[in-house]
Amino acid sequence: MRLGLEVFAGIALALAPFLVASVLWWSGVASVALFAVFVAVAATATNGVRVGVAFSLLFAVVGTAAVAVDSSPVLAALLVAASAGAIALCTLYGFSGPMLIVAMFVPYLIHEPPAPLANGQEGAEYYAAVAGALLAAGAWGCLLTWLLRRHKELPARPTPPAQREAVLAGAIVAMVTGLITYVAITHFNSTEWVWILLTIFVLTKPSPDLNWGQTKSRIFGTLIGVAVAASIGALGLPPAVVTAVGVLALTAALTLRLEGRAYWLYASYMTPAVILFDSATNNTTDIAIERLLFTVLGAIFAVGLAAAINTFVLRHDDLPQH
């Protein structure tokens, strides 16, 4: 309970300035700020404030670019592919975690850019507002995380893979995710296709068991979360109430994650959180069903990618023995 209250207070403190700004200035600021805060918190908590600032600056550039290329399938595919490849390259330096979050949010911004400014403009002023919001949210997230963790030791960095393996694995994932992005934008842009990529990024692990345990947990947790979100959507609650329930679900999900609970339990709370945030003004049931279908499809891609990496990239004697 104490940890949950701390997580809720942290979420509220991190988002409060931008929720106020969304009312007083620009309705789109809260959506981009949420992503930037997550990037800053994850990078600072795991690698220190300097890395947090560096990834916040990177996300400000990449996030603004994602908003700018939303109508160009080719450029969007190239940006997603570059972000996916960067995850593997960042493993060489112990920064795969922050880069994974950056890559996960890029498709979201491509698929659903923030609302236009109050004057309806989407030119230079609009992109400057996007970049400014990302920078401000990133700086705020870094500051909060530094204040909370300045007297705590940073976690040990994972052992880096061989450079050859990281480059080849990154190239495979980049090609597949870039192709999926291009096909999705050109043929399925009205759907929630971004969940395919999110699932691929989270689950693609070059391991002998193809990360099958976490893949099953994610699908099972998603199934539970979809059922919960669909039930809440059927109640016909006002958008403000739906968003509030989403915040509570997010609090529960992060609390369970910090406690190291089973992944399926975390996914069963995170799934309705994401769906309810996305569906405050849309049909929750439809979005929930799409979430499930695209999660399963993404899991299939992730297992296939892991198998390809195991077969064509990793040397057998480098794999851990069971």
Q: Are residues 144 and 202 in the same domain?
A: no
pLDDT classification of 282: cutoffs 50, 70, 90: low
| Per-residue pLDDT, 306 | 83
- Does residue 173 lie in a domain region? no
- Does residue 181 lie in a domain region? no
Q: Are residues 9 and 80 in the same domain?
A: yes
Task: State pLDDT tens for residues 160-192.
Answer: 777 777 888 889 999 999 999 999 999 988 888
Q: Which residues contact 45 (CB under 8 A, 6 or more apart)?
A: 52, 145, 149
**Angle CA(57)–CA(181)–CA(307) in degrees, nearest 5?**
100
Please give the single-letter amino acid code of residue 186: T
- Does residue 178 lie in a domain region? no
| Per-residue pLDDT, 79 | 97
- Residue range of the domain that includes 297: 191-317
Task: Tell me which of 153, 168, 183 is where a domain ends.
Answer: 168
Give yes or no for residue 63 having a pLDDT over 80: yes
CB 84 within 8 Å of CB 53: no
How many Cα atoms sit within 13 Å of 265 on the Cβ side? 11
pLDDT classification of 58: cutoffs 50, 70, 90: very high
Please give the tally of structural domains in the chain. Answer: 2
- Does residue 69 lie in a domain region? yes
Q: Are residues 120 and 231 in the same domain?
A: no
Task: Output 223 or 180, whichever has higher pLDDT.
Answer: 180
- Does residue 185 lie in a domain region? no
Task: Output 11 or 61, whichever has higher pLDDT.
Answer: 61
As a whole number of angstroms, the distance between CA 241 and CA 228 comes to: 15
| Per-residue pLDDT, 319 | 46
- Does residue 136 lie in a domain region? yes
Give the CA diameter of the chain. 61
How many Cα atoms sit within 13 Å of 322 on the Cβ side? 3
Q: Are residues 138 and 204 in the same domain?
A: no
Task: State pLDDT tens for residues 248-280.
Answer: 888 888 788 777 788 888 888 887 877 776 655
How far, in Å, are 40, 60, 101, 240, 284 from residue 139 at the CA level?
Answer: 7, 11, 16, 27, 33
Q: Are residues 43 and 146 in the same domain?
A: yes
- Does residue 176 lie in a domain region? no
Task: State pLDDT tens for residues 187-213.
Answer: 988 888 988 998 888 887 666 666 677
Please tell me the pTM assigned to this model: 0.82
Average pLDDT over residues 87-99: 85
